[in-house]
Every structure is written in structure tokens, then in C-alpha cells.
């Protein structure tokens, strides 16, 4: 099969012909029909996350059709449509797993990091960690739900019942979560990178109640904020914007260093917290909720062989919504990411 391979961090992915994987016990084999590109993929490719499996097939927002099923992989069967998320496995036995916090499992394994992912024509996955894709979502539009949507949703839950919600960084996750937040009756304040007119416009079109540069003060106190951008300097900025008792949620897996800040920004029972990975319960809840909002995703398709361009466009902030890799020849004319 064709796959895009990371041989060493800091180098572009290489298109290669590799053996098609076989499903082992408890695994399903998917023909990949779409794999969204996540900022975490960039952190892996750029070497900001340590010790990836090498060589590695990245990608952890996989949608595909089940074409073979290993023993003990019920109830999956050939022909099913399945989604594969970042959490590829957990031990089920550590204190975190036993407490329903498998996202924090000491022995968790992650798709497209320690397990080969979806930047390929086929992928295998642990059947217990895959999700059925809600009807009504084409594969291309469903792919970003699997991480941008799931992690965004976990972050939104972590933000509590905030009525005035700040979103810092308006990319794949924020464009999904703003739809859920507005559906829940919240007001959304979108903070975009100074000078990034494209994403400011995108935020406005997606229904933000206010849009401004992230180096500007909030027009009114916020009850919570979610930081999607990997920029540590946004932590004190967001703390400054939230009112007493408010929570600042850091949604990404990697961030530049957080600068020091005066204690008064944290005083008043403000909370700074991160969100790590996902639980299967997050997936079930979010994939049940998404069609009822209904969440609509904006996607920019790229042929699999052009994964490096998709990563470059994400790194440079050139995307509107989520980049999604698809098999060669399945992009409608005129819809490609970059000409």
C-alpha cells in the first residue's frame, strides 16, 4: 500500500510503498477513505513530541471502511464505517483506567505516534477504541470530528457552564466547538492571531459574537476560555480576560513556554488546566451530540501524496477549517487544498 512515512523528526514525510497490515486479534483493518490532519501531527513531525515510533505513519483522525476483522473484534464486520481516534489503546488496569480516566493511562498508546496511523491507504486499529461514524456525515466531513471535535468537546466540558466563552486560536477545533457552544446558548469571543484577517473572518462567519486580535483585551469579562493555539503567552492573556472563578483550558498537547505572570491574574479562584487526550466516553458523547447540533465541518481536501503540503499549510495558518487527506483520485475537481 502507499503510505506517507516519517523517518526522522524534522524531515518531510516520504511517500513509500509498504506492506499492507493484517488485523491481529481484536483489530480491524480499514481501507482509509479520509484522514484529517491535526496540529499534534505537526508536533510529531517537527520533533516537539518525544520518542515517536520510527518509521511512523502519522494520522489519528481516520475514517475508513472495515474490510477485514481479526478474532475477537466484534461487533465490527466488513463493510462498517469506522473512525479511529488518537487514543489507540489503554491498559484497563492502572488506577486511571479503573477510575474512568483512560485518557491519563500510564500505558496508553496513541494512533499516529506509537501506532501507525492513517496517512496511508490502509490502517489497522484496536476494535475497542474505534467509533461508528454518525450517519449523515460524508467521510471527508467526518474525519475532523475525531480529534478536533473530540478534544474540542472535552475542552468545552472542562470549561464548565461558562456563558461567555473565549476561544484563542480559530482553526479546526474552534470552528467545530463554536457551533456546539452556540447551540448550548453560550456567547463566543474569538481571539485570532494579530493580522490573521482570514481566520478572523472565518470566526465571524461561524457566528462568533466578537472577534479580535489575541493581544487585545476582551471587551467584557469571560467566564472561561479555551486556548487552542500552541502559544504559552496566551495563558496569562486568557487569565487576564476571565472573571473570578473562571477557567482557562489549554487544549493542545504541546505549547511554547508559559511566561511568568503576577499572582493576581490567578487570584480569585481562577483555574488553569490542560486537557489530555480523550476517553472513549468523550467520543461516544460527542459523536452523539454532533449530528444534533448539527456540527458542520469545513474541510480542505489534499491527496494523500501531498500530506507535506497539508502540514505546511497548517503550520503557516493558511487553512480555513481542517485539512483532510484522501486517496488519490477522490477529490472533486476544484476542491483541492492548494493548486
List contacts with Zn ion (CB under 5 A): 38, 40, 90-91, 94, 97, 105, 147
Nearer to Zn ion, 254 or 320 (CB): 254
Nearer to Zn ion, 125 or 241 (CB): 125
Minimum Å gap between C-beta 331 and Zn ion is 22
Helix (H, G, I), strand (E, B) or coil at 254: coil
Minimum Å gap between C-beta 314 and Zn ion is 11
Nearer to Zn ion, 56 or 200 (CB): 56
Query: Could you report how far apart the first and last alpha carbons of the chain are, in Å?
Result: 25
Angle (CA) 138 141 146, round 5°: 110
Nearer to Zn ion, 236 or 252 (CB): 252
Q: Using alpha carbons, list the distances in angstroms from residue 249 to 85, 159, 199, 232, 254.
A: 21, 6, 21, 12, 13
Minimum Å gap between C-beta 91 and Zn ion is 4
The backbone torsions φ and ψ at residue 137, rounded to the nearest 5 degrees and listed phi first, read -105, 115
Minimum Å gap between C-beta 329 and Zn ion is 26
Number of DSSP helices (H) and strands (E) in the chain, helices first? 9, 17
Computed on alpha carbons and rounded to an integer, the radius of gyration of the chain in Å comes to 19
Nearer to Zn ion, 105 or 235 (CB): 105
How many Cβ atoms sit within 10 Å of the Cβ of residue 196?
16
Cell numbers at 231, concatenated = 502559544
Minimum Å gap between C-beta 106 and Zn ion is 6
Nearer to Zn ion, 23 or 88 (CB): 88
Helix (H, G, I), strand (E, B) or coil at 147: coil
The backbone torsions φ and ψ at residue 71, rounded to the nearest 5 degrees and listed phi first, read -65, 150
Nearer to Zn ion, 90 or 218 (CB): 90
How far is the C-alpha of 283 from the C-alpha of 267, rounded, in Å? 34
Nearer to Zn ion, 66 or 253 (CB): 253
Minimum Å gap between C-beta 189 and Zn ion is 24
Indicate the length of the chain as a whole number. Answer: 339
Minimum Å gap between C-beta 65 and Zn ion is 22
Minimum Å gap between C-beta 43 and Zn ion is 9
Nearer to Zn ion, 5 or 105 (CB): 105
Cβ neighbours of residue 86 closer than 8 Å, sequence gap 6 or more: 38, 40, 60, 61, 110, 111, 112, 113, 146, 147, 150, 151, 277, 278
Give the residue from 84, 74, 71 showing the smallest Cα distance to 124: 84
How far is the C-alpha of 151 from the C-alpha of 36, rounded, in Å? 14
Output DSSP code: residue 263: G
Contact 6, 56 (CB under 8 A): yes
Minimum Å gap between C-beta 285 and Zn ion is 17
Amino acid at each position: 500500500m502507499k503510505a506517507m512515512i516519517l523517518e526522522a523528526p524534522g524531515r518531510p514525510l516520504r511517500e513509500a510503498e509498504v506492506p499492507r497490515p493484517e488485523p491481529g486479534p481484536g483489530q480491524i483493518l480499514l481501507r482509509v477513505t479520509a484522514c484529517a490532519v491535526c496540529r499534534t501531527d505537526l508536533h510529531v513531525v517537527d520533533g516537539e513530541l518525544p520518542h515517536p515510533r520510527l518509521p511512523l505513519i502519522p494520522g489519528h483522525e481516520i475514517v475508513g471502511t472495515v474490510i477485514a476483522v481479526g478474532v475477537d473484534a466484534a461487533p465490527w464486520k466488513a463493510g462498517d464505517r469506522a473512525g479511529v481516534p488518537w487514543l489507540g489503546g489503554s491498559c484497563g488496569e492502572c488506577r486511571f483506567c479503573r477510575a474512568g480516566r483512560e485518557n491519563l493511562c500510564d500505558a496508553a498508546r496513541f494512533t499516529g505516534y506509537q501506532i501507525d496511523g492513517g496517512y496511508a491507504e490502509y490502517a489497522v486499529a484496536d476494535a475497542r477504541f474505534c467509533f461508528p461514524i454518525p450517519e449523515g456525515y460524508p467521510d471527508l466531513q467526518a474525519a475532523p470530528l475525531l480529534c478536533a471535535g473530540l478534544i474540542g468537546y472535552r475542552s468545552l466540558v472542562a470549561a464548565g457552564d461558562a456563558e461567555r466563552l473565549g476561544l484563542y486560536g480559530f482553526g479546526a477545533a474552534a470552528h467545530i466547538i463554536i457551533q456546539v457552544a452556540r447551540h448550548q446558548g453560550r456567547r463566543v469571543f474569538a481571539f485570532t492571531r494579530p493580522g490573521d484577517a482570514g481566520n478572523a473572518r472565518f470566526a465571524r462567519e461561524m457566528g462568533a459574537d466578537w472577534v479580535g486580535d489575541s493581544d487585545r483585551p476582551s471587551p467584557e469579562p469571560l467566564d472561561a476560555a479555551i486556548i487552542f493555539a500552541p502559544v504559552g503567552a496566551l495563558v496569562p492573556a486568557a487569565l487576564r480576560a476571565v472573571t473570578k472563578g473562571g477557567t482557562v483550558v489549554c487544549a493542545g498537547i504541546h505549547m511554547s513556554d508559559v511566561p511568568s505572570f503576577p499572582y493576581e491574574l490567578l487570584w480569585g479562584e481562577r483555574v488553569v488546566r490542560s486537557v489530555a487526550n480523550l476517553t472513549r466516553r468523550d467520543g461516544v458523547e460527542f459523536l452523539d451530540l454532533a449530528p444534533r447540533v448539527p456540527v458542520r465541518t469545513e474541510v480542505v481536501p489534499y491527496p494523500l501524496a501531498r500530506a507535506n503540503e497539508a502540514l505546511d499549510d497548517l503550520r503557516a495558518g493558511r487553512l480555513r477549517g481542517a485539512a483532510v487527506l484522501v486517496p488519490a483520485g477522490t477529490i472533486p475537481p476544484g476542491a483541492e487544498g492548494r493548486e
